């Protein structure tokens, strides 16, 4: 059983490193294997990871053995079912899970190394994708397809970090910048009754953050030593949870409260960081790497989104044929929240 499906589809391919290596091509539409669903994608969004891979900054020695399809986060409608699928029906709105196979608990090293959408698995900048039915979730009913496409990495990374940190009412949470993960961290922390401090290099972006509920903001360009300013905003106690997306661990530790949790989730500023280990040992700070999250965590987040009416922040929407312009905006850092690409519909 299936909807009307064409034989070919539009696809954005990367033929090498660099935004100028993106090309709009046609490929055959895949058929769903047993246990898979075929999803007609309508929307995608970009993460810093997508740009880091395309630009060759993701990790040393990264090589492309073939042309690949960028981007990890998308949303669409189930167009066909492989044999044995009972989890979804034709017409369901779904979001593929970033780390395929990770249902709950911890992922395996193999999942992290070989089963992530957007690389090394082909990504979502295409009109159709086939994924195992077990590796997709229902899109929140309260969100549009573009809004739901913001969730797989940015939303779930923020959710996982806050859950790992045990967020509770009255806590102080530090969000770094105003990109996708940081804005989700702000929104989700406020839902939990926490107070949020946001740092950014732009006063205009900090004003946007305050409009979304930020309780304290610091411009790190005009205040390079920003950790004391963050501590002062908390009444000198420090923040209880840090969503660390910049890779600048030293100042985050300096801003942290006794017993704080630092979720190390990104590296937008640096791959390397120096700090005094005594700053971690004496105040008993817990630092943990965050690798997005599981399918079960994704479904829990979606229930919270529907319950509270949270609306993801989408800065700009580009058509598929202008995917290069979307990546250029990501490179400039000229956005607040998410950059989206409309694929169909």
Band (pLDDT 50/70/90 cuts) for residue 269 is very low
**What residue segments make up the domains of the chain, in order of their start?**
8-150+312-342, 156-289
Distance CA(116)–CA(110), nearest Å, equals 10
pTM value is 0.94
Per-residue burial over 299-308, b if 16 or more Cβ lie within 10 Å, else e, is ebbbeebeee
Structurally, at CATH architecture level, domain 8-150+312-342 sits in: Alpha-Beta Complex (3.90)
pLDDT in tens, 7-60: 999 999 998 899 999 999 999 999 999 999 999 999 999 999 999 999 987 776
Query: Over the stretch 122-163, which tens digit does the pLDDT of each residue have?
Result: 999 999 999 999 999 999 999 999 999 999 999 999 999 999
Give the integer Cα–Cα distance in Å for 199 and 197.
7
- The burial of 225, by beta-carbon neighbours within 10 Å (0-12 exposed, 13-18 middle, 19 or more buried), is given as exposed
Mean pLDDT across 288-311 = 97
The domain 156-289 having CATH identifier 3.40.50.720: the answer here is: yes
94 near 138, Cβ under 8 Å? yes
Residue 278 confidence class, pLDDT cut points 50, 70, 90: confident
| pLDDT of 62 strictly over 80 | no
What is the Cα–Cα distance from 74 to 96, expressed in whole angstroms?
Answer: 7
Q: Could you give the percent of the chain with pLDDT greater than 70?
A: 94
The CA distance from 238 to 236, in Å, is: 6
pLDDT score at 1: 52
Task: Let me know: does 333 contact 149? Beta carbons within 8 Å.
Answer: no
């Amino acid at each position: 059983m299936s909807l009307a499906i064409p034989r070919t589809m539009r696809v954005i391919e990367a033929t090498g490193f660099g935004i100028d290596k993106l090309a709009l091509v046609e490929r055959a539409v895949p058929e769903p294997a047993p246990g898979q669903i075929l999803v007609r994608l309508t929307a995608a969004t970009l993460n810093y990871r997508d740009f880091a891979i395309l630009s060759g900054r993701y990790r040393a020695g990264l090589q492309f053995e073939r042309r690949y399809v960028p981007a990890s986060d998308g949303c669409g409608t189930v167009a066909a079912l492989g044999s044995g699928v009972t989890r979804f029906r034709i017409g369901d709105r779904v979001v593929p899970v970033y780390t395929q196979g990770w249902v709950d608990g911890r992922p395996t090293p193999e999942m992290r190394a070989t089963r992530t959408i957007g690389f090394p698995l082909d990504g979502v900048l295409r009109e159709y994708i086939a994924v195992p039915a077990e590796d997709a979730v229902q899109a929140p009913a309260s969100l549009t397809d573009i809004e739901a496409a913001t969730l797989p990495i940015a939303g779930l990374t923020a959710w996982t970090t806050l859950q790992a940190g045990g967020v509770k009412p009255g806590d102080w949470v530090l969000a770094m910048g105003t990109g996708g993960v940081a804005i989700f961290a702000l929104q989700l922390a406020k839902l939990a009754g926490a107070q949020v401090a946001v740092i950014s290099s732009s006063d205009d972006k900090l004003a946007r953050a305050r409009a979304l509920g930020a309780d304290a903001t610091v411009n790190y360009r005009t205040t390079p030593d920003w950790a004391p300013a963050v501590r002062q905003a908390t009444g000198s106690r420090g923040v209880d949870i840090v969503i660390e997306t910049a890779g600048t661990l030293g100042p985050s530790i300096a801003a942290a409260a006794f017993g704080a949790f630092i979720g190390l989730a990104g590296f937008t500023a640096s791959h390397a960081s120096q700090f005094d280990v005594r700053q971690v040992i004496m105040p008993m700070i817990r630092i943990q790497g965050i690798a997005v999250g599981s399918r079960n965590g994704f479904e829990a987040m979606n229930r919270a989104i529907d319950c509270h009416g949270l609306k993801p922040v989408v800065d700009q929407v580009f058509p598929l044929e202008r995917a290069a312009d979307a990546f250029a905006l990501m490179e400039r850092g000229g956005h607040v929240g998410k950059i989206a690409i409309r694929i169909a519909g």
